[in-house]
Amino acid sequence: MTIYLDNQATTRIDPAVIAAMLPLMDTHYANPGSSSHAPGRLVGEWVDSAVSGMAGLFNVASDELIVTSGATESNNLALFGVALHPKQKRRTIVTLMTEHRALLDPLSRLEKNGFEIIRFPVLQCNETDTGIVELDRISEAINENTALVSVMMANNEIGAIQPLSEIAKICQRFEVPLHTDASQAVGRMPIDVQALGVDLVSFSAHKFYGPKGIGGLIVRQSPSSVQLQPQILGGGQQQNLRSGTLNSVGIIGMAKAMELAAANRGTEMAEQERLRNLLWLLLNEQIDGLNLNGPELIAEKRLANNLNVCFPKVEGQSLMLAVPDLAVSSGSACTSADPHPSHVLLGIGLSVDQARSSLRFGLGRFTTEEEIRMTADWLGKAHAKLASFAA
């Protein structure tokens, strides 16, 4: 039996989501853009209603939600779209060092093309609020040359939740649009885009029990409208901002997944928080000298399903090899083929050795207390054995 605790990397598709998608693959396969016939119009109506339902959950209008292939594409559209718009005169983008590669890599490309990218550090592991950015830094950095500020809502490795509404207020003062990569937050935290005051929001359905390869970018049109240069050209779908036949199967699945998450989020996240705290407690009972990477285990500062632990004297990779039936990770999934230690853990001040000795646990909707108890037991035994070789 495999215990899956890597829900920050991806989640299992909820059976109700699969059931909602099946008819779109089978009977109702028409192109949602084919308004010339009834099957196309029917699927088109379903897709419109799914998009409108999702937009409603974010408290935005339907035409403010652009469907993409996921958060990587959404981040690319937001960054290149803002930076390369013909009317764009500003040349600086402000972000954090601990963002996901799906944000940092497009920014490096823009840097090569002449943009100035300011990457802020976050609070360090010896400070309170580890992983969170200091607001003063943002306000000092923004000026009339800032094209965009991009700060993720919640970190995928250490779960740190950024003070986005405060950052939004600073951006509004300077009339600078604010983008947030909310991949880890959608489905786990309520997101009222209007109340938050953000302009662009990226997300991926597979992080909240929906299918892979589908996601979205919210592009606010009011109070101020963000102008984006489209990155994918073609049939002119989605107000010309992202051409391509709409992925009706994915859209219906993503909408169902979002609806389920919104309906059950309170109880679901409370249970994941309970189990996450239990895991931390049990691991500490089994192993001396553990360190918690990232902010304290409290709801306002850290994702309720995330735990990131530095193990004394033993590498994370060795622990994973010793416990092959446990699916956890030593970094983000997208960089797990990368032998370098996590830039997020280094970014909060861990040494290379400490970063290599760390594991990330992401609990999910299907995690049980029995699995948590077994995980702590397996890791306790494996650590004792490996640490005895190291001694």
Ligand X SMILES: Cc1ncc(COP(=O)(O)O)c(C=O)c1O
Residues designated catalytic = 334
- Rg of the chain over all Cα atoms, to the nearest angstrom: 21
Q: What is the spatial distance between Cα 67 and Cα 168, in angstroms, rounded to a whole number?
A: 24
Q: What is the spatial distance between Cα 215 and Cα 183, in angstroms, rounded to a whole number?
A: 9
Among 54, 11, 17, residue whose Cα is nearest residue 262: 54
> Residue 64 gets which letter from DSSP?
G
Q: In whole angstroms, what separates CA 220 from the centre of its chain?
A: 19
> Residue 276 gets which letter from DSSP?
H
Cα angle value 148/149/152 (rounded, 5°) = 135
Do 54 and 182 form a contact (C-beta atoms < 8 A)?
no
Among 272, 76, 274, 87, residue whose Cα is nearest residue 179: 76
**CB nearer to ligand X: pick between 206 and 383:** 206
Minimum Å gap between C-beta 347 and ligand X is: 14
Minimum Å gap between C-beta 175 and ligand X is: 26
Minimum Å gap between C-beta 235 and ligand X is: 22
- Integer angstrom CA distances of residue 364 from 3, 10, 12, 336: 11, 10, 9, 20
Residue 30 CB neighbour total at 10 angstroms: 17
End-to-end CA separation in angstroms for the chain: 31
Q: What are phi and psi of 214, to 5 degrees?
A: -145, 145
- Tokens 């300011």 belong to 118
Minimum Å gap between C-beta 263 and ligand X is: 23
**CB nearer to ligand X: pick between 11 and 183:** 183
Minimum Å gap between C-beta 120 and ligand X is: 17
Q: Give the binding site for ligand X (CB under 6 A).
A: 70-72, 100, 102, 152, 156, 181, 183-184, 204, 206, 215, 332-334
Minimum Å gap between C-beta 212 and ligand X is: 7
**CB nearer to ligand X: pick between 47 and 182:** 182
Q: What is the spatial distance between Cα 270 and Cα 136, in angstroms, rounded to a whole number?
A: 32
**CB nearer to ligand X: pick between 261 and 287:** 261
Minimum Å gap between C-beta 152 and ligand X is: 6
Q: How many residues appear in the chain?
A: 391
**CB nearer to ligand X: pick between 8 and 92:** 8
**CB nearer to ligand X: pick between 231 and 284:** 231
Cα angle value 349/351/355 (rounded, 5°) = 95
**CB nearer to ligand X: pick between 70 and 295:** 70
- In 71-216, which residue ranges form alpha helices assigned H by DSSP? 71-83, 101-112, 135-141, 164-174, 193-196
